[in-house]
Amino acid sequence: MTTMSKVNDRSLVVLILELQGESLAVETSYVREILDPVPVTTVPGAPPAVDGLINVRGRVVPLADLRLVFGMPQQEAGRDARIVVIEVPIDGDPTTVGIRADKVNEVTELAAASLESTPRIGLRWEPEFITCVGKRNGDFVAVLDMGRIFSRLLAHNKGAAVVPPAAGN
């Protein structure tokens, strides 16, 4: 359950990204690096939302496409596309994951006063994936709970990640 009320006591420093025209925020405490797009290796048999692997300074890191998690259209990203490398707890274990962003806007502080409970309607993100909502330039921007998003992804994957057998030749 989202812990809305507690968050109101402090401000959050977040990274604002854009995905298919929507803005979202990630707590900078989770962000490790921001990269220009790099070659991606596809992992056959992996769930489509996390079916890539990239090389980050000698480490092999999974690459997630949140557009698939949130049912967004998948238009080709332009020259502003970036990969944001985050480290989040998945089922309690800190895990490094990359997420695609069409654009990375800025690092900003969402002041305590602007952090509000999630309105129940009118938001395009699943409420349970949102830590809280902040106001920025007059607009609402959701701070996503990356840990929960990926934990959910992992839970979905179990029992479904068998490489599909070839159906005859």
Partner 1 sequence: MSGSDPAQTYRQEAADLLEQLEQALLDLEHAPDDADLINTAFRALHTIKGSGAMFGFDAVAAFTHHVETAFDRVRKGEAAATPSLIAVVLAAKDQIRLLIDQPDSADEADAAALLNQLQAALAAPERAAAAPNSMVAWRLRFRLPRDAMAMGTNPLLLLDELRALGPCTVVADPSAIPPLQALDPTACHVAWEVTLLTAEPRSAIEQVFLFVLDEMQLDLEQITAEPSAPKPPPAPDRTEPARKPAHAEPASADTGSIRVPAARLDDLMDQVGELVIAQSRLKQIAGATSDAQVKTISEEIERLALELRDTTMGARLVPIGQLFGRFRRLVHDLSKELGKEVTLTLAGEETELDKTLIERLSDPLIHMIRNAVDHGIATPDQRAAAGKPRQGRVGLTARHLGHEVLISVTDDGNGLDRARIQQRAEEQGMLAPGTRLPDAELFRLIMEPGFSTAREVTSVSGRGVGMDVVRRAIEALRGSVDIASRPGEGSEFTLHLPLTLAIIDGLLVRVGAGRYVIPLSAIEECVELSAEDDTRSRGHTFLNIRGSLVPFLRLREVFASGTDPDTYQKVVIVSAGDQRVGLVVDQVIGDHQTVIKSLSKLHADVGAFSGATILGDGTVALILEVAHLVEHGQHRDESLPQAAE
Binding site for partner 1 (CB under 8 A): 39, 41-46, 50, 53-55, 58-62, 64, 90-91, 93, 95-97, 150, 153-154, 157-159, 161-166, 168-169
Q: How far is the CB of 168 from partner 1 (least distance, A)?
A: 7
Assess contact for 32 and 85: CB atoms under 8 A.
yes
- SS3 percent helix, strand, coil of the chain, rounded to 5, is 20, 45, 40
Q: How far is the CB of 100 from partner 1 (least distance, A)?
A: 15
Q: How far is the CB of 29 from partner 1 (least distance, A)?
A: 20
Q: How far is the CB of 76 from partner 1 (least distance, A)?
A: 18
Which of 133, 146, 131 is closest to 84 using CA atoms? Answer: 146
Q: Is the dihedral of CA 31, 37, 43, 48 positive or negative?
A: positive
Q: Which is nearer to partner 1, 64 or 141 (CB)?
A: 64
Q: Which is nearer to partner 1, 4 or 35 (CB)?
A: 35
> How many residues belong to the chain?
169
How distant is the alpha carbon of residue 91 from its chain centre? Answer: 16
| In 49-151, beta strands by DSSP E | 52-56, 59-64, 82-90, 93-101, 103-110, 130-136, 139-144
Q: How far is the CB of 99 from partner 1 (least distance, A)?
A: 12
